[in-house]
Amino acid sequence: MKKPSISDVIASEPFEIAKNIYWVGKKTGNDLEMNVFLRIFEKGKQKINMLIDPGPPSDFDIIEQNVKKVLGNDYKIHFAFINHQDPDVGYNAIYFQRYFPNMQIITMEDTWRLIKFYGFNPKRYIPVDRFKSRTIKMITGHKLVFVPTPYCHFRGACALYDVTERVLFTGDLFGGLSDSPGFYADEQSWSGIKIFQQIYMPTNIAVENALGAIKRVDPSPALIAPQHGKIIKNEFVNHFIAKLKTLAVGLDLADQNKILVSQYIKAFNAIIQQIKLKIDKEIYDSIFSALFTDESFPEIFSIKDEEIYEVKIAVEYAMQFFLNNTLKNQSDQVKRDLQFLVLHILTDLNLPTENLNLEVDDATTNSPDDNFISEEASDLKEENTSDETNISHLNIRNLLQLIEDESGSDKFNELTVLRIMLKIPPDVLKRNKVNSYDDFFQLEETDDVDFIKYIIRGSEQILGHRLPESVLNQEI
């Protein structure tokens, strides 16, 4: 069943992203949508129109209508810039060249060697490679800089920098999935960018090299306009450049620890099995179908006979993606059951849980990089944590009793303990020999001050009040 997307209700109207630069694409509602841009260079009576990555044939009618809406029925396209050879990037240029036989194609030689098979007129081709300075000036005085981004994801890929408006068109680099409303990227958009980049970029070496070239453009870009997903502006430009710089992508992921990967695959399948056994069949079906992307994007999980046998992005992140899709739009009860199940299975398999976000908001999908643990911890420290400095002894028996009394059910009791454990750094758990929630239940007391500090902080955050004297400062 196709997931409802905000794109279904947003009309594909042209949208001006900067002065005289319009998004003229088509909102399809698919996981992956194509951005097409129209740049108008204007001076006095002179008007030059350039399409940037004119998109795939399936979007042509809407793109053409949008161009007309911006330029009027009597429009003309003078240039098409093409980042790389993929049909989703530039196939429509051939239709536009049939309408406007003088339209010139600007692209790298490596790209031209392939796109020429679309049937372009070879006399109407301008190789980027011709410009040694990589800079051109339009007749209207506007300056454009070509920024080759080799192997991101094709050897002939080239970004285009509009110096006047400080907009950098990056093709697939910085591209992301269409998973939330709006044109502009925010923190949540990283999730879809990360998935797309991990699937399509070959290796971090290539990405880092391209980002180095982008860092050198002057003035620095105010806007990054990729061919998929959101437009990146303001503080998110440098923020996402920094994030992408250290991201393992493509072949880098083949270096993921094999034991860790197989543990995660075990965890995915155990969670799926348990959902089938313990939770409603209908919920199982909806959760299972949410693991599949639509035909616009490669599957993240390889599945056979309802079993996952391969994960195509970083496994820790795949777990967050899985949780986002699993927890979204479930009732509070089902959410609690699922959270419990997931924590139980991950803890049993000794997989880290401290960076997982289990509090998935239905309206958005959260990124695992939003480390809710440290945020909550620092908030509480300022507000209402018990004075930890004086506490050198903690009665865990009494604490567990308190949790059970307050939560009223065994299941929630265990979940609460797991959630407290999530607030404790792995090294602190390890030195106290706590590897699962069962180990925690076996504890009677501790005088490890760090351990005490984290338990108190975590308990107070989750219970929502200070711990009473019966738990603090008591010896057994």
Tell me which residues touch Fe ion (CB under 5 A). Answer: 86, 88, 172, 227
The token pair at 134 is: 């990589």
Locate all alpha helices (DSSP H) within 100-228, ordered by sequence: 109-115, 190-200, 204-215
Give the residue among 34, 41, 75 at the shortest CA–CA distance from 58: 34
For residues 96 and 174, which CB has a smaller minimum distance to Fe ion in the complex? 174
Q: Which pairing describes strands 158-162 and 143-148: parallel, antiparallel, or unpaired?
A: antiparallel
Q: Which residue type is seen at 446?
A: T
Q: Which pairing describes strands 307-311 and 15-18: parallel, antiparallel, or unpaired?
A: unpaired
Give the residue among 139, 104, 138, 141 at the shortest CA–CA distance from 123: 104
- Minimum CB–partner distance for residue 227 and Fe ion (Å): 5
The token pair at 456 is: 């108190």
For residues 203 and 407, which CB has a smaller minimum distance to Fe ion in the complex? 203
Backbone angles phi, psi at 110, to 5 degrees: -60, -35
Q: Which residue type is seen at 5?
A: S
- Minimum CB–partner distance for residue 298 and Fe ion (Å): 12
Taking residue 184's Cβ as centre, other Cβ atoms within 10 Å add up to: 13
State how far the Cα of 447 lies from the Cα of 99, in Å rounded to an integer.
79
For residues 32 and 214, which CB has a smaller minimum distance to Fe ion in the complex? 32
- Minimum CB–partner distance for residue 329 and Fe ion (Å): 29
For residues 112 and 268, which CB has a smaller minimum distance to Fe ion in the complex? 112
The answer to whether the CB of 437 falls within 8 A of the CB of 453 is no
For residues 34 and 422, which CB has a smaller minimum distance to Fe ion in the complex? 34
For residues 84 and 233, which CB has a smaller minimum distance to Fe ion in the complex? 84
* CA geometry: angle 110, 111, 115, nearest 5 deg: 130
List Cα–Cα distances, 345 to 210, 310, 341, 353, 425, in angstroms: 40, 19, 6, 10, 19
Cβ-closest position to Fe ion: 86
Q: Which residues contact 1 (CB under 8 A, 6 or more apart)?
A: 289
For residues 203 and 353, which CB has a smaller minimum distance to Fe ion in the complex? 203
For residues 227 and 386, which CB has a smaller minimum distance to Fe ion in the complex? 227
State how far the Cα of 218 lies from the Cα of 405, in Å rounded to an integer.
63
- Minimum CB–partner distance for residue 397 and Fe ion (Å): 58
3-state secondary structure of 180: coil
State how far the Cα of 302 lies from the Cα of 311, in Å rounded to an integer.
6
For residues 86 and 388, which CB has a smaller minimum distance to Fe ion in the complex? 86
For residues 171 and 221, which CB has a smaller minimum distance to Fe ion in the complex? 171
State how far the Cα of 383 lies from the Cα of 395, in Å rounded to an integer.
23
3-state secondary structure of 18: strand
The strand pairing partners of 452, in sequence order, are none
